[in-house]
Structure 1
Amino acid sequence: MKTPVKIIGINGSPKGEKSQTRRLVLAVLEGARAAGADVMFVDICALKIRYCTACATCYAKGECVHDDDMPALYEKLLDADGIVLGSPVYINSVTAQLKTMLDRMADSVHCLHFTGKYGCAVSTAGGAMADETADYMNSAMRMLGATTVGTVGVNFMGNPDLIVPAGKKAKDLGRKLAEAIRTEWKDPAQQAYYADRKARMKQLVLANKDVWTHEFDHWKAMGWI
């Protein structure tokens, strides 16, 4: 029997159960579950995640100086096959809570820890920039090595009923995410991006191999250098 696809959804809204973004993340997970995936939902605003201080300890040792909820969340992300990121638009971008999580993953950017994983993103806005914010979240996942399969963004503009068609699109996106994982879908444009990014990360790690020892050891263990 094949191991079920594992998908984790991260909600970056601080509004709890009142969050429209939460509804979209859950809709993606519902669609993925209907396609046979095992799903997990995380409200990141309920976690304690401290700011990155750019100390570079993770580059050298593969661990962070902070004692908080990020390591446990990160293990869940690494265990997942697919990742759904969701955030409302706060001044043309993601919430501080979600951005803090992303900033704590600098080591993973260098190590491309999400290689082989898949992702998608959803965003809501009272006015504008929902699509752009969802695109930003997908770009962050591609920096980590993941292949992204799409977005759903909704700008309400005073019309809360728009969550209904957006929810349907989110469910479809969840099914698409699960299928992409199952079939190991490849996108030629993203594959070219990854090849270029991997080459640049390799040069960066090699240039700093004497101080970024953890990352250099990771690249050797992966057979990339």
Structure 2
Amino acid sequence: MIILLNGSPRKHGATATILEYISEQLKMQDLETSIVHVSDLNLQYCIGCCKCYETGKCIYIDDIENLSRKIENADGIIIGTPTYASNISGQLKTIIDRGHFVMEQLLYQKYAMSVVTYENYGGKDTSKILNKLLSYSGAILSRSLIIKNTFSANPLKDEKIKNYVTNRINHFYRDLSKHRMPKYQSIKHFIIFQFGIHPFVIGKAEKYYGVIDAWKKNDVRYKEYSK
């Protein structure tokens, strides 16, 4: 299962159009896909209470836990977002804040791709932010898409853009099907986890046992990368 997360509040905008095309192409490779639109989700804002680190779930009863479990059980994830003020959308940021991504390593060993659309400026900056999230969450980053597009226009009507997207999809599929793991990403993941996340959490183990339980559940370990 590949989850395609549309971080745009618009279900028929440029970002959604590209994700729908990606979904169709992956289905042609006999992969199961599921598109999730943030606009369909009931989500509260994170208040920074850190209770999720202790209990393993958020204090709010809304759609975030179901989404996190869906992502946890997937083989890969493709996250798309429009560019708002040289950054990801506010709706997507809410999911990132509350979705158990970084500390719990929600995307551990899952293949991932980022999709960023923009009209004027900030697409590259937004892509860097999104890719950093994917990497810090343990994902194997396959490819990135950065697409400049006129507001409300269908980006796939431009053959260059369509070919660009198709090429990236094919790379993603090959990485996934052949279980490719770039060496530099292995090293990067090891450093991030072993010297950043792991010691911080272990230092607060009495309050972060929800995080530790998540590691055990998903067999999160980076020891092999130290060899």
Is the 8 Å Cα contact of residues 5 and 78 (structure 2) preserved in structure 1? yes
Change (3 A) 1:181 1:161: closer
Q: Which amino acid aligns with 2:212?
A: F
The reply on whether 1:166 has 2:180 as its aligned counterpart is no
How far the C-alpha of 1:156 sits from its partner, in A, is 2.7
**Equivalent of 1:201 in 176, 197, 201:** 197
How far the C-alpha of 1:50 sits from its partner, in A, is 1.1
Is the 8 Å Cα contact of residues 10 and 41 (structure 1) preserved in structure 2? yes
1:3 corresponds in structure 2 to none
Number of aligned positions between the proteins: 218
The reply on whether 1:144 has 2:137 as its aligned counterpart is yes
Q: Distance in 2 between matches of 1:73 and 1:218?
A: 15
Change (3 A) 1:173 1:195: same
**Equivalent of 2:128 in 118, 125, 135:** 135
Deviation string 1:29-63 (CA, Å, 9 cap, x unpaired) is 22222222111111111211111111111111101
Is the 8 Å Cα contact of residues 9 and 39 (structure 2) preserved in structure 1? yes
TM-score by length of 1: 0.88
How far the C-alpha of 1:150 sits from its partner, in A, is 1.2
Is the 8 Å Cα contact of residues 78 and 114 (structure 1) preserved in structure 2? yes
Structure 1 unmatched runs, 5+: 1-5
Change (3 A) 1:187 1:13: same
**Equivalent of 1:75 in 69, 74, 89:** 69
The reply on whether 1:188 has 2:186 as its aligned counterpart is no
Q: Distance in 1 between matches of 2:150 and 2:121?
A: 8
The reply on whether 1:61 has 2:48 as its aligned counterpart is no
How far the C-alpha of 1:8 sits from its partner, in A, is 0.9
Q: Distance in 1 between matches of 2:41 and 2:178?
A: 33
Q: Distance in 2 between matches of 1:49 and 1:117?
A: 24
TM-score by length of 2: 0.87
Q: Distance in 1 between matches of 2:134 and 2:26?
A: 18
The reply on whether 1:210 has 2:206 as its aligned counterpart is yes
Deviation string 1:160-216 (CA, Å, 9 cap, x unpaired) is 475433233223322322221221111111111101011121101110011112223
How far the C-alpha of 1:71 sits from its partner, in A, is 1.1
Q: Which amino acid aligns with 2:202?
A: L
RMSD of equivalent CA atoms? 2.2
Q: Which amino acid aligns with 1:117?
A: K
Structure 2 unmatched runs, 5+: none
The reply on whether 1:36 has 2:22 as its aligned counterpart is no
How far the C-alpha of 1:141 sits from its partner, in A, is 1.1
1:88 corresponds in structure 2 to 82
Q: Which amino acid aligns with 1:213?
A: Y
Q: Distance in 2 between matches of 1:22 and 1:57?
A: 33
